[in-house]
Structures are given as C-alpha cells and as structure tokens.
Amino acid sequence: MASEERVTAEARGALVHLPRQADAEPLPDPRQSDVDEWGRSEHTRQLARRLYEPLYKSWFRVEWEGLEKVPTDGGALLVANHAGAIPSDAPVIMHGIEQELQRPVYGLADNIFRAAPVVGTLWARAGGVAAHPENAYRLLREQQQLVLVFPEGTKGPGKLYSERYQLRRFGRGGFVEIAMRAGVPVIPIAVMGAEESMPIVYKNNFLARTFGLPYVPLTANMLLLGPLGLIGYFPAKFKLRVLDPVHFDVPPDQERYSRSRIMDEAEAIRVRLQDNLYDMLRQRRSVWFG
C-alpha cells in the first residue's frame, strides 16, 4: 500500500511539471491565408506587381504629377476618367500608388467581373471589389482604405476613338454621397494615355443587345494584331495628374444629404478633370512620347 501511494504521489508530481495546453505553442492553422474579406490577396498583388512592372515602366512609361496629394494614411476616394476597350487605367493607377506609397488600393468595378469564371476570382485577388455603395462605405469609413472608382462607368470605356478625352456624365453623383457619408476626401486623377492604348473604332450594338453587354467593340489593336489585339495594348505614353483633394464640409453618417449639393459637387469634379485633361493634351508632344 505504501509503495502504491508513493507511486501515485510521484505521478502527481510529474504532472505538475508537464506544460499546460494553454502554454504550448499553437499549431499552425492550415486554413490560414492572406485573402481578406474582400477576396484580395497580398501574395497575388505582389505577383501582379512583379509581372506588371515592365509594362508599367517600359511599355506605358508612366509619369505622375502630384502623387504626394494622395494621403499615406486614412481613407480617400480616388476618382479618375476611364477609357479603352479593356481599360488600362485601373491597373496603372493601382500599381503606381501601391509601388510609390506602399498602400493597397481597392478598385470598384461592375459586378460582371465577379460573376465571370476564373476572371472573377483573379480580379478579386488583385484588389477588385463589386461596385456597391455599402462596400465602398465600409472600405472608406470603417477600414480607412484607398478606393478607386470611375464615375463614367461603362460609358467611359465604350467611347469611340473620335470621342476620346470627352468625359461622360458622372451618373447621379453617387461617389460624392459615399465620400460624404464616409467623411473622406475625393481625390481626382486625370489620366492621359489610356484612350490610345486600346482605342475603339467601331461598336456592334446588335451583339451587345443580344448578349446583354454594355458594348461589343472592334479596336484598332484587333485590326492590326488579330486575336493578339484582345490583350495587346499599344505603347501609349501615360501621364497622370493628381488634383487637389476635395473635402466636403458636412458631418459623416447622416441619413441623407442634399441631392442638389451632391450633383453640383459631382459636376464640379467632372469639369475640373475635363479642364485638366485638355491642358495635358495641349502640352503633349505626341501619343507615344508624351
């Protein structure tokens, strides 16, 4: 009996020196990844930046003016003109800001990209988010991110080459209302070069209506390069001018804002972008060399 009690006491003593489960090193979770709630993957963005850098620097030869006006912290809504059958402006803006300022940029786009197989997943991993007011609000207000939006919508990329650099109406000014609600500034960016990178020379409206698409384009790239023209951009020189931030002197998170004020602010931003584009075009020496 005494021997059994001694063995039991020794066993209890040994248990005292065993590490508790809470003190043990946690095992890695095999389900962990770098994909955030929006589907963005920093690993994918790093790979995209590595692959896109030669196109950005050597093909489009991108130049920025006023990049210091983009804040290095806090939320801001980036607003730019939009063009090209397969727009080249969004990746140029996102890549440039992420490389220069080390800040992620979330690009709002039509939900048609999200619905497309494979393309939708890649688009989300690269920072694309469905263009919905609540998505924009959460990114701007709650997460203090940089969000890129093109107020012309599909009307911008659908312009013919003969209509280049003529900004379309900025919808009903929804981007201004989102910025007001989120309490962040709007930062306009004038983009020159996208119009010539993949210009549309003809639109097939019958096919567009048949398949429910905003437009079905025939581009100069397709005429010169054949099937390669679907992905091959012309080496147009890109110049981007960041304008002064627009701040709205209104309290955030209000139930409603003045509709006339929203429309006036949106139109004022459109006019500023249009005037700056005309100024940049007057200074441009050529499409290919800036």
What would the pLDDT profile of 128-157 be if each residue is shown by its tens digit? 999 999 999 999 999 999 999 999 988 888
Q: Lowest-pLDDT range, 8-17, 48-57, 101-110, 116-125?
A: 8-17
Q: Can you tell me the distance from the alpha carbon of 100 to that of 23, in angstroms, rounded to the nearest whole number? A: 42
Q: Can you tell me the distance from the alpha carbon of 283 to that of 223, in angstroms, rounded to the nearest whole number? A: 29
Predicted TM-score of the model (pTM): 0.85
* Confidence at residue 110, expressed as pLDDT on a 0 to 100 scale: 78
pLDDT at residue 20 tops 50: no
Please classify residue 245 by burial: count the beta carbons closer than 10 Å to its beta carbon, then call 0-12 exposed, 13-18 middle and 19+ buried: middle
Q: Where does the pLDDT of residue 239 fall: very low under 50, low under 70, confident under 90, or very high at 90 and above?
A: very high
* Confidence at residue 68, expressed as pLDDT on a 0 to 100 scale: 97
Find residue 192's DSSP bridge partners: 239
Structure tokens at 84: 């090209």
pLDDT at residue 10 tops 50: no
Domains of the chain: 58-282 (3.40.1130.10)
Of 129, 61, 114, nearest to 92 by C-alpha is 61
